[in-house]
Amino acid sequence: MALTIELGVAELATTRFAISPLSETVACLQQLAGRDREAANLPWLRWAEDELASAPLDLALTWPLLISDRPNWPEFLVPAPRGSGPSIDDDLAALRRTTTRQVRASLGRVFGDTLPGPVAALAAHPKAGLATIAAELRAAHDRLVAPHWPRIRAVLDADVGHRARQLAAGGSAKLFTGLHPDLRWEAGKLLQTGKRWRADRFVNRGPGGLVLIPVVLGSPYAVIKGNTSTQTTVRYPARGRGTLWTAGTRPPPGSTVRLLGRARAELLEALRSPATTTDLARALGVTPSAVSQHLGVLRESGLVERERSGRQVLYLVTALGTALLDR
């Protein structure tokens, strides 16, 4: 059994990657509710639960839409980003542009003819309701995502860079298989298989190609919109998310320290999660010039690699460097 998207050459040509702060916000709320919890997110979950215990968020309209006894949630909560890296304000502006017809159609698909109280109020007054949802999601982003956004963004940027190299090396087939084990592209179709699918379903694809969105604070599954008022999005677990909350929190192995020296060994351990020179200097309490010098040696040794993301240069440990740390 599979979820199928018709995806021919023309659609592949316009398929793109994007990073979405709103996607992370929606995903983290679902993690807090226990939806498809990802073990890698447990350190963040513990922090977030402590944060909310002292001052809960008011999500009176957003929570019933995201967390219910229905298997799906309204697609307009995460519209396809227009650019590759929009701000949370850009994402929320796109949410507020959802039309009355689109809001009501989406609510009907999820909840049927009998809408719960808050959902019925949204259907009756979509414009005002969307403004309320945008305000609630902005508050959730500012409390739960923004404090960690530089580190999350570094992981997302590194993931997109890695996928671009996969596409260049192996084409679309390798790209989609690399996104998630449940995905594969063949004969003009993108298929999502796995134990979650007990019947064959087809996606009502939006205009143009897909928008591929890596997610850190999300579930271990790929999430594909079955219907959409924008482009169809595929949200998938970002590569490297598993080390985001633990990178640099444990001492490097003694054998690595003896081989590289403590400063370079600690730097290598910190780079289990991608970071910039400035991030590393701040985390390790040394000067950026000292970090740059150590990074140069580690790169020459094949233990660290770098890639450019916009105006930033990200550094991350290579497979050889990981093998050295895990000895």
Per-residue confidence (pLDDT) for residue 82, from 0 to 100:
86
Specify the pLDDT at position 280.
Answer: 81
Give the number of other CB atoms < 10 A from CB of residue 212.
20
- How do 201-202 and 233-237 pair as beta strands? unpaired
Enter the pTM of the model: 0.83
Place of tokens 């580190």: 151
What's the whole-number mean pLDDT along residues 190-197? 82
Phi-psi region of 290 (alpha: psi -120 to 50; beta: other; left: phi over 0): alpha
DSSP per-residue codes, 39-74: GGGHHHHHHHHHHHHHS----TTHHHHHSSSSS---
Q: Distance between CA 170 and CA 167 in Å, rounded?
A: 5
Residue 198: per-residue pLDDT: 65
Distance CA 82, CA 101 (A): 21
- Residue 309: predicted pLDDT: 66
**pLDDT one-digit tens code per residue, 194-243:** 877 666 888 888 888 999 999 999 999 999 988 888 899 999 999 888 77
Collapsing DSSP states into helix, strand and coil, what is residue 207? coil
Give me the pLDDT at residue 116, please: 86
Residue 286: half-sphere exposure toward Cβ, Cα within 13 Å: 16
For all residues of the chain together, what is the average pLDDT?
89
Average pLDDT over residues 164-170: 83
**At 312, which helix (H) or strand (E)?**
strand 312-317
Q: Which helix (H) or strand (E) holds 224?
A: strand 223-224
Report, as an integer, the average pLDDT of 102-114.
93
The predicted pLDDT at position 144 comes to 97
CB proximity list for 163: less than 8 A, separation 6 or greater: 17, 175, 178, 179, 212, 214
**pLDDT tens-digit series, residues 136-150:** 999 999 999 999 998
Least confident range of 158-162, 220-224, 242-246, 285-289: 242-246
Token pair in block for residue 97: 């542009």
Distance between CA 304 and CA 322 in Å, rounded? 9
Closest listed residue to residue 217, CA positions, set 17, 22, 9, 2 = 22
